[in-house]
Amino acid sequence: MAAAAELAAYRAVGTLYNALMTALVLGLIARRGEETARDYVFRHFRRQHLEKFLPGLHKLGLADQPDAPACALYHYHSNALGGVKTGYLRESDRKAWVRYPPPRWIWRGTAIAAVPHSVSAAMLHGWHGHNGVSLKNPRLGFVCTGMTVDGMPGLEGYYLDYGHPLKKDERVRFAYGAEEMPRVDWANQPRLETANWPEERRLRTFRAYALEYLRTMLPTLQELLGPDDAQTELGRVARLVGLQFHEETARDMDLPTDVERGDLSSARDFGRWLASILKAQGEAIETTERDGAVTVSQTGWRAVRELRLADPQKAFDAWNELWLGAAAAHDRFLKVQTTRALGDNGWSIAWRIASR
């Protein structure tokens, strides 16, 4: 059985990467414009779709279902595994609903107020509208009957087999006011065995769900903006997320924050926070103490395994701002020096934490 601190670290990974995804999209809207943010969201979810959808159908045991219910059930179950509340309703073999009630996981808190319709819709065009293509069923489309960003009580819609081939621009259709998802009996929704999982296993799955956002974010952003601008945009929001969310995650892990001591004891506290989260993320971590400083060392970078990055070093430097921001929130009188090298045997990374 995992200790409370380990469970808190799993929650922290999910919280931080959820916030990072939201912050990145908001940053793109504010600094690069709605069109760039829409393009990013489309590319992000299309990449995830191509990597995850068909394997996920088989893993969830849905491959033999009719296409419309299979797609709706896929979104229902995969989101539930990630801790996202989702509803499902099958009307027939050709029509099945899926609903994401508020609060929307991806647009946490008041962030939803800054998300335009087109940016939220890009997720549907990137993923939901491509399901029929991946299933080699040109008749299958998605009809969206509401989105939370437009003030409606959830993002909802249905997969429909129209019975005739669809044009590309017909694969996602918006039909606000024409229909709404019928009443859902929440007590009798489909269940996977995950309902009986212990908390540790559920949190590990939640951790993995959120971590996939980082794994998709890094290559997608570099492809869209180029390595230099991707580092600038992601690094800026990563630092802000570290500053904003360190206190919440540290308190959940029963660790101090905002201490302003700048001493070895403070360095130890931040070292424990950083090492715990990186371990929960799945990294190989070792903590040492020497010459009045605490060093957290990481062998490899498991989070980016098998990713093809245009510039891995710039991707790392952007990601690292998350931890530098958290360190500044923990104790602004500490200094964190990061060393990193990518060689034939993989990554070698260290954070030296000491008084400045």
pLDDT in tens, 317-335: 999 999 999 999 999 999 9
Domain membership of residue 18 as a residue range: 4-196
Residue 242 belongs to some domain of the structure:
no
pLDDT given at position 1: 46
Residue 59 belongs to some domain of the structure:
yes
Residue 207 belongs to some domain of the structure:
no
pLDDT in tens, 106-127: 898 999 999 999 999 999 999 9
CB 327 within 8 A of CB 267: no
pLDDT given at position 337: 98
CATH number of the domain that residue 126 is part of: 3.30.1380
Domain count, the chain: 1
Range 8-21 average pLDDT:
93
Give the angle 112-243-204 at the CA atoms, nearest 5°: 70
**Peptide bond between residue 227 and the one before it cis (omega within 30 degrees of 0):** no
Report the half-sphere exposure of 159 (CA within 13 A, side-chain side): 30
Residue 340 belongs to some domain of the structure:
no
Reply yes or no on whether the pLDDT at 310 is more than 80: yes
Tokens of 114: 């800054």
Reply yes or no on whether the pLDDT at 65 is more than 70: yes
Tokens of 170: 């017909």
Reply yes or no on whether the pLDDT at 138 is more than 80: yes
Residue 21 belongs to some domain of the structure:
yes
Reply yes or no on whether the pLDDT at 91 is more than 70: yes
Residue 163 belongs to some domain of the structure:
yes
pTM as predicted: 0.94
Rg, C-alpha atoms of the chain: 22
Reply yes or no on whether the pLDDT at 342 is more than 50: yes
Reply yes or no on whether the pLDDT at 353 is more than 80: yes
pLDDT given at position 197: 61
